[in-house]
Structure 1
Amino acid sequence: MNYLAHALRFLDRPYYVAGACLPDLLSVADRGVRLRSRRVEPMIPLAGVDEAELYRGVLQHLHDDDWFHATRGFAEVTGDIAVLFRKAIGTEHPTPCSFLGHIVMEMLLDSVLIERHPDALDRFYAAMEEVDPQRIQAAVNQCARQPTERLAPLLPQFNAERFLFDYASAEGLAYRLNQVLRRVRLTPLDETAIGAITSARDVVEAKIDQLLPPSLFVPEPVTSRVASASLISARPGT
């Protein structure tokens, strides 16, 4: 799942939205910093209201990733998209098509959700602009093994760039995909990727209910991965 897929159900809760995006944001800002549920969960009863919401959002992200990557839809769609890219860019291209199947599926999932929820991106960025970058960085440094000073400067840039709007077109998504590939030191794609992206979007749209089963993609409290018997409240101030 990508940014909007994690945050879509919680757009009226800014710090929860930010928390749901934090693992992905940290992968851009400072890849060495990891958030683990066993360190995040104990912070909730000790934190202020906003910080507790942030931590709940992080747990939501981790919970979502657990079930999402285990779905049949995830395995099938990433495989289908990998085949599309293998045909489009050839077997000699150094970028692994398995990686493309995964990352492009997640980007296209956001693209489909954006189309289905026309006001979602404006609400998403409005929520992200309400949070205090320094408070978020301080909260991360309370529970991450390795502290960071790179997160707070990234958040205003993330909001200003609004790159999720580029997912509306195959060309825009290809441009953002190449940015990801460069960041992880993989070879960018040329214009042959456009056709694969267009076909891949049809696959994601056709199987979105398998990727986001209604029984799992619901705005409910998440179950801790550390203490599986206890439910983490997803309500502010609890």
Structure 2
Amino acid sequence: MNYLGHAYLHLDNPYFAAGTALPDWLNVIDRKNRARRQYAEPITKHADPLVACFARGVMRHHYDDNWFHQTAAFARLSTQFAVDVRQLLPSGLGHQAGFVGHISVELLLDAILCERDPQLLDTYYDMLRGLDAERVQMAANLICPRPLDTLAILIPKFIHSRFLADYHDDGLLRQKLNGVMQRVKLPLLPETLTPWLAVARNQVRESADELLTSTLK
């Protein structure tokens, strides 16, 4: 799951919703620093209720990922997308197809959530603006094995960039995927992949209810 998939049911609980974003924020600022479930669990009993709430959000992120990646819809789509991408990539680049297939499902699901609720993106970013970024960083430092000093800087930049809004456009989505490819040191995806994203988008749209079933319980 991606940012909105984790958070969209919890926007009335800002520090919990922010906690669901921490593992993904770490992928941006410190990929080797992991906010694992076992690190977050003790902090759910913290005396500061907002810190405890943030830790519960981190726990929810891991719970979400666990069930999401085991759904039949995710397995079906990510496998099919990997096959599609492998056929579209230049010779010798097929090794990245599985990774692209995996994250394409997650990013496109965020786009579908925005289609379903046109106010979702504004509500999400407004919620983040209400956070005390320094307090979020302090809470994260109780969970992460290595200290963070850039999360409080990242959060305003994350809000200002509004890059989740770009997921609605196939060309812009390919650019965002390439940002991920750069971070994990994989070759960039060619422009020839853009038309495929439109097909993949429709497949995720058709399977969205199945992908979201567990969060709707």
TM-score (norm 2): 0.95
Does 2:165 align with 1:165? Answer: yes
Structure 1 unpaired stretches of 5+: 220-238
Distance in 1 (alpha carbons) for counterparts of 2:93 and 2:44: 46
Q: Which residue of the partner structure matches residue 235 of structure 1?
A: none
TM-score (norm 1): 0.87
Q: Which residue of the partner structure matches residue 186 of structure 2?
A: 186
- 1:90 is displaced (CA, Å) by 4.0
The within-5 A match list for 1:1-238 is: 1-93=1-93, 96-213=96-213, 216-218=214-216
Whether the 8 Å contact between 1:44 and 1:52 is mirrored in structure 2 is: yes
Distance in 2 (alpha carbons) for counterparts of 1:120 and 1:132: 21
Residues 156-191 of structure 1, C-alpha deviations (whole Å, 9 max, x = no match) = 110110000001110111111111111111111121
Residues 121-171 of structure 1, C-alpha deviations (whole Å, 9 max, x = no match) = 000001111111111111111122211112111111101100000011101
Higher relative contact order, chain-length normalized (CA < 8 Å, sep 6+) = 1
- 1:95 is displaced (CA, Å) by 5.3
Distance in 1 (alpha carbons) for counterparts of 2:109 and 2:68: 12
Task: Give the helix-richer structure, 1 or 2.
Answer: 2
RMSD: 1.4
Whether the 8 Å contact between 2:6 and 2:61 is mirrored in structure 1 is: yes
What secondary structure is seen at the aligned counterpart in 1 of 2:33?
coil
Residues 60-90 of structure 1, C-alpha deviations (whole Å, 9 max, x = no match) = 1111011111111111010111122123224
Distance in 2 (alpha carbons) for counterparts of 1:108 and 1:135: 31
Distance in 1 (alpha carbons) for counterparts of 2:32 and 2:151: 12
Distance in 2 (alpha carbons) for counterparts of 1:95 and 1:109: 24
Q: Which runs of 4+ in 1 moved over 3 A?
A: none
Whether the 8 Å contact between 1:14 and 1:127 is mirrored in structure 2 is: yes
Residues 185-225 of structure 1, C-alpha deviations (whole Å, 9 max, x = no match) = 11111210101111111111111122222xx1137xxxxxx
Structure 2 unpaired stretches of 5+: none
Distance in 2 (alpha carbons) for counterparts of 1:204 and 1:88: 19
